[in-house]
Structure 1
Amino acid sequence: MSAWIQHIETMTPGLAYSQEYASRKMQEWIGDERRKRMIRMLYQKSGIARRHSVISSFDQNLPGDFFPIDGDGLRREPTTAERNSLYTRESRPLAVDLARAAIAKCPGIERSDITHVVTVSCTGFCNPGIDYHIITDLGLSPATERYHLGFMGCYAAFPALRMAKQFCQADPQAVVLVVCLELCTLHLQLSGSEDSLLANSLFADGAAAAIVSGRPPQAGRTGYRLGEFHSTLIPSGKADMAWTIGDLGFDISLSSYVPKIIGANIREALRPVLDGRQLKLDDIRTWAVHPGGRAIIDKVAESLDLEPEQVAASRQVLQQYGNMSSATVLFVLKQILAQTDGPMREPVCAMAFGPGLTVEMGLLEAERGAGHGVNRRCREEAVAGA
């Protein structure tokens, strides 16, 4: 039995700031000249234009400043407890608003239809958590099954979608709401370490939801049929991407070698996914590469001999939103469905990367609906007759 993504909804916090502004502020906070030069280089080469955050004031001398001035006139970093308190407060309304919008915009799906809620987050902890609040605040059935995947990182949307697919295959009546929510900016640090500076230049806040069921999309609607999923590890990169909980937020190890490691191994990692459908690389026109950074997209595209348009959606999401950890690949998949020049039906290969070094991949079939095909055919006929 097939399982389908019926709808993808995305949402970001209200505060948006440019990458240029973020670079200036980080240089102000970190006084060392060598590190200032590094910050300028990282932010200029990031491929990011703007990012979003739940932090309303970083350093504006307001009572809620994230980096307030202490008694010695220095910027004080919030403790892990203070950061997590912000997560607890801010994650609930964002998750509930996103879930409400996802259900409301999915034709044929009502709140009463939701049988499972799967939530994903690695940037904070609270219990009752966002899975509980989605059910209670939206008035879903108290019998709704709920599952939370935590502290996995950027690849976690794939285990969530795989879980949703399995629920739908086990129960034809299942309707699964998947919510990925990450508040990465809560873990900005002023330590000045190279790994911290790199992470500060990339990560942002955002959330995305997918509604999965055994029904194909309604006529004229877009969606994805979920195909094969595959997970693999690249042990040689274990030390290059990892994080632990420190006293001042999460301490991240994020080496600049990660893109090279991924690029050197991605062809072999993809083999089981493509072989399962007897496909070759040339059979895949569109790729949903998790935009962990510009260099990651570059290395994947280079290693797979992809044309720029084949990873265009990944670059657009990186530019507009930055790296929102687990939510990001759903932003990319939504962008791909919105492309007006794509075929009505096509295979899409999606992938994301995380600590371990873990590679998660999925083969999906995009369904763009009859209306999309008519519009595209009209444009093609107009071009042919010109």
Structure 2
Amino acid sequence: MSFEDRIDARGDDRKESTRGAVALLGIGTAAPECRLDQRDTAARLALGLEDVGQRDQARWAKRIFHQSGVETRYTVVPSLAGPAAESRYAPGTPWERAPRTSERMALYREHAPVLAERAARGALHDSGVNAAAITHVITVSCTGMYLPGLDAELAERLGLLRGLRRLPLTFLGCAAGMTAMRTARELVAGDASAVALIVCVELCTLHTQPSGDRESLYAAAFFGDGASACVVGHAGGELQAGDHFLLDEGVSELASEAADAMKWTVGDNGFDLFLSPRVPELLGQYVPGMVERYASGYKPAWWAIHPGGRGIVDAMQKLFGLSDADTYASREVLRSYGNMSSATILYVLRGMREQLRASGGGPSEGLAVAFGPGLTAELLRMTYVPAATREGEGGLARDTDTEKGIVTAMATETAAGVGAVGYDG
């Protein structure tokens, strides 16, 4: 398919091929039907632990569930919404009754493609991009795997090009949604005809462990299942009508000296998680320097923080002197969905876009931040460009001079091979 044909496939048959800055053009999300109420889940779990004589663990579970910042989550394991004694996944279940890894992977194989497709179709619809225009697909997951993989299955389900370039990002953890956005931005910046579809799907609750130890209970308290997707392409001219995020160059840093603070390994009964209680403290040691190197003198108007847990959002708010309004989108996603690993950051950006839309302001610059095993931190500067920023005849019209100025500046720096933030480390 030629570049002109791809432009035809994008919606309004508009053939302007002006190469502009790279932008996140649309977002889609999908969650399973089964909803977990945090209070009810904590009560059921505590009762189940008490029934098997684990009273201390029951008390601790109630406390950590209450302090998690989560009110609801979603799961592909309906038995987690019932009595703990009837669920083979619940902490306190005898190991011999708990599902083996192969059984959990079979459920992943059943549910992950369905959620991924829903999120992908939502992103395509939101962006106005036709599936036939997609040149690259990046799939992201750390909670399951199979071959041929999710990337190949999505290509079939969505009717993507046979010559599609597929890039699975597997087992990278919570920061991987940002890794995918950074990677897509780099791919699209180097190819005027490229349009990338990112799809993240995580079924974290599949790996709920039968153990009553604190690490297992902590994981059971705030992880949820969900999928998210976005379309990354070129903005500029009349091809896009705003309401998107222009993407600047991103950066990833690895603090390998803190590698033991966050672990995710394959076990006999699913995947085993270890999260050190020192993670917020460690992020406080590394992230400020990273922000200084990447965005010195930069004052974001908004922040999109991966809500890896209430303590992480609290730490970021304190470190950077943020207001409650600055962290609202992150806390709202944590409250309503829990931590969905790599899929979470696009939920936050969706919420941030809703906030920025409602504000009625003009283009505004922000910073997205996510963390994962390694210890890894991903940062990405963005500029939100609203669909309408001034009043015109017949209602609202785009402030095209402002938008074109931003697009031209970012596209010029992209072509020159330098980032708008001047980061070369």
Output the CA distance in 1 between the equivalents of 2:87 and 2:142.
23
Is the aligned partner of 1:150 residue 2:165? no
Output the CA distance in 1 between the equivalents of 2:82 and 2:343.
29
2:300 aligned residue (284, 290, 300): 284
Give 5+ residue unaligned stretches, structure 2.
1-19, 397-425
Structure 1 counterpart of 2:294? 273
What secondary structure, in the 3-state scheme, does the structure 1 residue paired with 2:326 have?
helix
TM-score, structure 1 as length reference: 0.89
Query: What amino acid is aligned across from residue 106 of structure 1 in structure 2?
Result: S
What secondary structure, in the 3-state scheme, does the structure 2 residue paired with 1:58 have?
helix
Distance change in 2, residues 1:269/1:73 (3 Å): closer
Bigger mean CA offset, 198-207 vs 157-166: 157-166
Output the CA distance in 1 between the equivalents of 2:272 and 2:346.
26
Output the CA distance in 1 between the equivalents of 2:378 and 2:145.
24
Deviations 1:238-268 (A, max 9, x none): 2111121111111111111111111232211
TM-score, structure 2 as length reference: 0.81
Structure 1 counterpart of 2:12? none
Is the aligned partner of 1:58 residue 2:80? yes
Structure 2 counterpart of 1:14? 33
Distance change in 2, residues 1:156/1:240 (3 Å): same
Deviations 1:53-84 (A, max 9, x none): 111223759xx95449xxx9998211111111
Is the aligned partner of 1:85 residue 2:106? yes
Is the aligned partner of 1:189 residue 2:243? no
Distance change in 2, residues 1:256/1:206 (3 Å): same
Indicate conservation of the 8 Å contact 2:41/2:81, yes or no: no
Aligned residues: 368
2:136 aligned residue (116, 122, 136): 116
The percent identity for this pair of structures is 35
Shift of 1:34: 1.1
Give 5+ residue unaligned stretches, structure 1.
377-386
1:42 aligned residue (50, 61, 64): 64
Structure 1 counterpart of 2:157? 137
Query: What amino acid is aligned across from residue 66 of structure 2 in structure 1?
Result: Q
Query: What amino acid is aligned across from residue 312 of structure 1 in structure 2?
Result: Y
Indicate conservation of the 8 Å contact 2:94/2:210, yes or no: no
Query: What amino acid is aligned across from residue 354 of structure 2 in structure 1?
Result: A
Output the CA distance in 2 between the equivalents of 1:95 and 1:225.
24
1:310 aligned residue (296, 316, 326): 326
Query: What amino acid is aligned across from residue 181 of structure 1 in structure 2?
Result: V
Structure 2 counterpart of 1:335? 351
Structure 2 counterpart of 1:248? 269
Distance change in 2, residues 1:273/1:188 (3 Å): same
1:324 aligned residue (340, 362, 367): 340
What secondary structure, in the 3-state scheme, does the structure 1 residue paired with 2:32 have?
coil
Query: What amino acid is aligned across from residue 56 of structure 1 in structure 2?
Result: P
Output the CA distance in 2 between the equivalents of 1:125 and 1:372.
47
Structure 1 counterpart of 2:423? none
Distance change in 2, residues 1:162/1:143 (3 Å): same
Indicate conservation of the 8 Å contact 2:35/2:81, yes or no: no
Query: What amino acid is aligned across from residue 344 of structure 1 in structure 2?
Result: G
Q: What are the equivalent positions in structure 2 for 1:256-267 lying under 5 Å apart?
A: 256-267=277-288
Structure 2 counterpart of 1:380? none
1:214 aligned residue (231, 234, 241): 234
Output the CA distance in 1 between the equivalents of 2:126 and 2:250.
27
Indicate conservation of the 8 Å contact 1:154/1:354, yes or no: yes
What secondary structure, in the 3-state scheme, does the structure 1 residue paired with 2:359 have?
coil
